[in-house]
Protein backbone atom coordinates (compact mmCIF):
# COMPACT_ATOMS: atom_id res chain seq x y z
CA UNK A 1 0.00 0.00 0.00
CA UNK A 2 1.60 3.29 -1.06
CA UNK A 3 2.49 5.70 1.70
CA UNK A 4 0.24 8.74 1.99
CA UNK A 5 1.88 12.14 1.76
CA UNK A 6 0.64 15.07 3.76
CA UNK A 7 0.36 18.32 1.84
CA UNK A 8 2.10 21.32 3.34
CA UNK A 9 -0.45 23.80 4.64
CA UNK A 10 -0.77 27.33 3.35
CA UNK A 11 -1.63 29.77 6.09
CA UNK A 12 -3.60 32.97 5.79
CA UNK A 13 -2.88 35.59 8.43
CA UNK A 14 -5.82 37.78 9.37
CA UNK A 15 -6.28 40.83 11.53
CA UNK A 16 -8.93 41.25 14.23
CA UNK A 17 -11.81 43.49 13.24
CA UNK A 18 -11.88 46.97 14.68
CA UNK A 19 -15.01 47.17 16.79
CA UNK A 20 -14.67 50.87 17.51
CA UNK A 21 -17.22 53.16 15.94
CA UNK A 22 -15.83 55.36 13.19
CA UNK A 23 -17.17 58.87 13.47
CA UNK A 24 -18.40 60.36 10.22
CA UNK A 25 -16.78 63.78 9.93
CA UNK A 26 -17.86 66.17 7.22
CA UNK A 27 -14.72 67.20 5.36
CA UNK A 28 -14.29 70.29 3.18
CA UNK A 29 -14.99 69.37 -0.42
CA UNK A 30 -11.93 69.66 -2.68
CA UNK A 31 -12.66 72.57 -5.03
CA UNK A 32 -10.68 72.55 -8.28
CA UNK A 33 -9.10 75.77 -9.44
CA UNK A 34 -10.28 77.24 -12.78
CA UNK A 35 -7.09 76.07 -14.50
CA UNK A 36 -6.92 72.60 -12.95
CA UNK A 37 -10.32 70.97 -12.87
CA UNK A 38 -10.52 67.31 -11.93
CA UNK A 39 -10.41 65.12 -15.06
CA UNK A 40 -13.50 63.09 -15.88
CA UNK A 41 -11.55 59.97 -16.74
CA UNK A 42 -10.75 58.08 -13.56
CA UNK A 43 -8.83 54.95 -12.69
CA UNK A 44 -7.81 52.99 -9.62
CA UNK A 45 -4.33 52.19 -8.43
CA UNK A 46 -3.44 49.36 -6.09
CA UNK A 47 -3.97 51.58 -3.07
CA UNK A 48 -7.47 52.87 -3.60
CA UNK A 49 -9.66 54.97 -5.81
CA UNK A 50 -7.88 58.30 -6.23
CA UNK A 51 -8.12 59.64 -9.77
CA UNK A 52 -5.17 60.19 -12.06
CA UNK A 53 -4.41 62.67 -14.79
CA UNK A 54 -1.49 62.96 -17.14
CA UNK A 55 -0.65 66.64 -17.13
CA UNK A 56 -0.36 69.70 -14.95
CA UNK A 57 -0.78 73.30 -16.09
CA UNK A 58 2.50 74.25 -14.38
CA UNK A 59 4.52 71.25 -15.53
CA UNK A 60 3.73 68.36 -13.15
CA UNK A 61 3.32 64.88 -14.59
CA UNK A 62 2.76 61.39 -13.23
CA UNK A 63 6.48 60.58 -13.31
CA UNK A 64 9.02 61.10 -10.54
CA UNK A 65 8.28 64.24 -8.53
CA UNK A 66 10.93 66.80 -7.65
CA UNK A 67 11.35 67.89 -4.04
CA UNK A 68 9.78 71.25 -4.93
CA UNK A 69 6.72 69.51 -6.40
CA UNK A 70 6.37 67.28 -3.35
CA UNK A 71 6.63 70.30 -1.06
CA UNK A 72 3.93 71.98 -3.13
CA UNK A 73 1.71 68.92 -2.62
CA UNK A 74 2.40 69.11 1.10
CA UNK A 75 1.48 72.79 1.26
CA UNK A 76 -1.81 72.20 -0.57
CA UNK A 77 -2.60 69.26 1.70
CA UNK A 78 -1.78 71.29 4.81
CA UNK A 79 -4.20 74.05 3.75
CA UNK A 80 -6.93 71.46 3.15
CA UNK A 81 -6.37 69.72 6.48
CA UNK A 82 -6.26 73.04 8.33
CA UNK A 83 -9.71 73.83 6.93
CA UNK A 84 -10.88 70.39 8.06
CA UNK A 85 -9.59 70.99 11.58
CA UNK A 86 -11.41 74.32 11.69
CA UNK A 87 -14.67 72.63 10.66
CA UNK A 88 -14.31 69.93 13.33
CA UNK A 89 -13.11 72.44 15.96
CA UNK A 90 -9.92 70.45 16.57
CA UNK A 91 -6.38 71.71 17.14
CA UNK A 92 -3.35 70.16 15.51
CA UNK A 93 0.19 70.93 14.40
CA UNK A 94 0.83 70.06 10.75
CA UNK A 95 4.29 68.94 9.59
CA UNK A 96 5.34 68.38 5.98
CA UNK A 97 8.15 66.17 4.69
CA UNK A 98 9.24 65.06 1.22
CA UNK A 99 11.11 61.76 0.80
CA UNK A 100 11.14 58.60 -1.29
CA UNK A 101 9.07 60.24 -4.04
CA UNK A 102 6.15 61.09 -1.74
CA UNK A 103 4.89 63.99 0.32
CA UNK A 104 4.31 63.09 3.97
CA UNK A 105 1.87 65.16 6.01
CA UNK A 106 1.46 64.52 9.74
CA UNK A 107 -1.02 66.06 12.15
CA UNK A 108 -0.30 65.94 15.87
CA UNK A 109 -1.63 67.56 19.01
CA UNK A 110 -0.38 68.11 22.54
CA UNK A 111 -3.83 67.18 23.82
CA UNK A 112 -3.96 63.38 24.18
CA UNK A 113 -7.55 62.90 23.04
CA UNK A 114 -7.83 65.88 20.70
CA UNK A 115 -7.25 64.00 17.43
CA UNK A 116 -8.53 60.60 18.54
CA UNK A 117 -11.74 61.17 16.58
CA UNK A 118 -9.71 61.37 13.34
CA UNK A 119 -6.93 58.88 14.13
CA UNK A 120 -8.81 55.61 13.55
CA UNK A 121 -7.30 53.66 10.60
CA UNK A 122 -10.39 53.75 8.38
CA UNK A 123 -10.89 57.45 9.04
CA UNK A 124 -7.24 58.27 8.29
CA UNK A 125 -7.39 56.33 5.01
CA UNK A 126 -10.58 58.15 3.99
CA UNK A 127 -9.07 61.53 4.86
CA UNK A 128 -5.94 60.61 2.94
CA UNK A 129 -7.99 59.93 -0.20
CA UNK A 130 -9.87 63.23 0.20
CA UNK A 131 -6.59 65.07 0.70
CA UNK A 132 -5.07 63.44 -2.39
CA UNK A 133 -8.06 64.57 -4.43
CA UNK A 134 -7.71 68.10 -3.06
CA UNK A 135 -4.06 68.10 -4.14
CA UNK A 136 -4.94 66.70 -7.56
CA UNK A 137 -7.57 69.41 -7.98
CA UNK A 138 -4.82 72.01 -7.61
CA UNK A 139 -1.95 70.30 -9.46
CA UNK A 140 -3.79 68.26 -12.08
CA UNK A 141 -1.66 65.21 -11.22
CA UNK A 142 -2.32 62.09 -9.16
CA UNK A 143 -0.87 62.37 -5.66
CA UNK A 144 0.74 59.60 -3.62
CA UNK A 145 1.02 61.59 -0.41
CA UNK A 146 0.83 59.81 2.94
CA UNK A 147 -1.26 61.28 5.75
CA UNK A 148 -0.62 60.52 9.41
CA UNK A 149 -2.97 61.68 12.17
CA UNK A 150 -1.98 61.40 15.81
CA UNK A 151 0.70 58.78 15.18
CA UNK A 152 -1.72 56.40 13.44
CA UNK A 153 0.92 55.32 10.92
CA UNK A 154 3.36 54.34 13.67
CA UNK A 155 0.61 52.28 15.24
CA UNK A 156 -0.03 50.61 11.89
CA UNK A 157 3.67 49.81 11.45
CA UNK A 158 3.62 48.03 14.81
CA UNK A 159 0.57 46.04 13.65
CA UNK A 160 2.35 45.08 10.42
CA UNK A 161 5.41 43.97 12.38
CA UNK A 162 3.18 41.70 14.48
CA UNK A 163 1.49 40.29 11.35
CA UNK A 164 4.82 39.51 9.71
CA UNK A 165 6.15 37.91 12.91
CA UNK A 166 3.09 35.65 13.11
CA UNK A 167 3.42 34.71 9.45
CA UNK A 168 7.09 33.80 9.86
CA UNK A 169 6.25 31.70 12.93
CA UNK A 170 3.70 29.74 10.88
CA UNK A 171 6.23 29.13 8.10
CA UNK A 172 8.89 28.03 10.57
CA UNK A 173 6.30 25.64 12.03
CA UNK A 174 5.89 23.97 8.63
CA UNK A 175 3.57 26.08 6.48
CA UNK A 176 4.64 26.46 2.86
CA UNK A 177 3.59 30.11 2.76
CA UNK A 178 1.55 32.70 4.64
CA UNK A 179 -0.75 35.23 2.99
CA UNK A 180 -1.41 38.57 4.64
CA UNK A 181 -4.65 40.54 4.24
CA UNK A 182 -5.05 43.00 1.31
CA UNK A 183 -3.12 46.23 1.82
CA UNK A 184 -2.17 49.41 0.03
CA UNK A 185 1.03 49.50 -2.01
CA UNK A 186 2.60 51.66 0.70
CA UNK A 187 1.88 49.07 3.40
CA UNK A 188 2.97 46.20 1.16
CA UNK A 189 6.29 47.98 0.68
CA UNK A 190 6.69 48.14 4.46
CA UNK A 191 5.86 44.43 4.69
CA UNK A 192 8.40 43.54 1.97
CA UNK A 193 11.12 45.38 3.94
CA UNK A 194 10.15 43.64 7.19
CA UNK A 195 10.10 40.21 5.54
CA UNK A 196 13.46 40.74 3.84
CA UNK A 197 14.94 41.81 7.16
CA UNK A 198 13.85 38.46 8.61
CA UNK A 199 15.53 36.48 5.83
CA UNK A 200 12.31 35.45 4.08
CA UNK A 201 10.82 36.22 0.66
CA UNK A 202 7.59 38.04 -0.16
CA UNK A 203 5.71 39.01 -3.27
CA UNK A 204 2.50 40.89 -4.03
CA UNK A 205 -0.35 38.87 -5.51
CA UNK A 206 -3.92 39.58 -6.61
CA UNK A 207 -5.49 42.56 -8.32
CA UNK A 208 -6.98 45.87 -7.22
CA UNK A 209 -8.36 45.94 -3.69
CA UNK A 210 -7.55 42.22 -3.28
CA UNK A 211 -3.81 42.73 -3.82
CA UNK A 212 -1.94 41.28 -0.87
CA UNK A 213 1.46 39.95 0.20
CA UNK A 214 2.44 36.28 0.23
CA UNK A 215 5.42 35.26 2.36
CA UNK A 216 7.62 32.21 1.69
CA UNK A 217 11.00 30.91 2.77
CA UNK A 218 14.01 32.71 1.35
3-state secondary structure of 213: strand
Q: Rounded to an integer, what distance in angstroms lies between the CA atom of residue 67 and that of residue 99?
A: 8
- Shared domain for 139 and 193, answered yes or no, is no
Q: Which residues of the chain have pLDDT under 70?
A: 1-63, 112-113
Indicate the length of the chain as a whole number.
Answer: 218
Instruction: Check if the beta carbon of residue 168 is closer than 8 Å to that of residue 200.
Output: yes
pLDDT, position 191: 97
- Residues 138 and 33: their CA atoms lie apart, in Å, by 6
Task: Give the residue from 99, 123, 150 where a domain finishes.
Answer: 150
Where among 150, 166, 184 does a domain terminate? 150
The reported pTM is 0.64
Same domain, 181 and 123: no
Domain enclosing residue 100, as ranges? 67-150
Q: Total domain count for the chain?
A: 2
- Contact between 199 and 208 (Cβ < 8 Å): no
171 and 98 co-located in one domain: no
Q: φ and ψ at 47, to 5 degrees?
A: -90, -35
**pLDDT tens string 50-90:** 344 334 444 455 568 899 999 999 999 999 999 999 998 88
CATH number of the domain at 182, please: 3.30.1370.50
Residues 40/32, Cβ–Cβ less than 8 Å: no
Q: Is residue 142 located within the same domain as residue 162?
A: no
Residue 126: predicted pLDDT: 93
CB neighbours of residue 181 within 10 Å:
13
104-121 pLDDT per residue, tens: 999 998 876 678 888 888
Looking at the domain assignment, is residue 12 inside a domain?
no
Amino acid sequence: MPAQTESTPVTEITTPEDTDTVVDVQAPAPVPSPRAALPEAAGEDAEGSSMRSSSHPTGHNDGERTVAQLEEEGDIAADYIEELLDITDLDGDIDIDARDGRAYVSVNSNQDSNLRILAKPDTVNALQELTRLAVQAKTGSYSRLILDVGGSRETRVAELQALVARAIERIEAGAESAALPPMSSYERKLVHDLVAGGGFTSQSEGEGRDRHTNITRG
